[in-house]
Amino acid sequence: MSYNNSRNTKSNYPTMSQSEWDNATWNDRENQKQGFEVNVAITMSRDVIICTDNYCVSDDNEPNTNYTDWREEYENNCYAIPDLLNELEIYLKKDIESSKGNKSKERRLNELLEACQGWNVDELEVEEL
């Protein structure tokens, strides 16, 4: 149906102007899903306890961590998010293999696997509380 047909007296459409016709809900189009490349930057933080022997004992028998490289201690003693994502990938790949034939579960697991990949650590700060 066109704008001119809406002006016909036998039409079921109300009489309206061209701009009203153009904005009418029955003229709305649904866009098809389309992929767009974007960059996602997420800032997260976590308090953890790091056990280390990399400290000095001061004269009053108190530990002194002024010269402790907390970033190195963290990297050597804790699982960072990229480490966790790598572990998750291993489990997902095994689960995908055991889910052959279940298309919906396999599709969901592949989506999760894809979401685990491609992450980069842009910044890492570790400081003593």
pLDDT of residue 96: 94
Give me the pLDDT at residue 17, please: 77
- pLDDT tens digit string along 15-59? 777 788 778 777 778 888 899 999 988 899 999 999 999 999 988
103-116 and 81-98 helices, crossing angle to 10°: 160
Contacts of residue 37, defined as CB under 8 A and 6 or more positions apart, other chains included, come to none
| SS3 readout for 75-114 | HHHCCCHHHHHHHHHHHHHHHHHHCCCCHHHHHHHHHHHH
Say if residue 6's pLDDT is above 60. Answer: no
Residue 107 pLDDT > 60 = yes
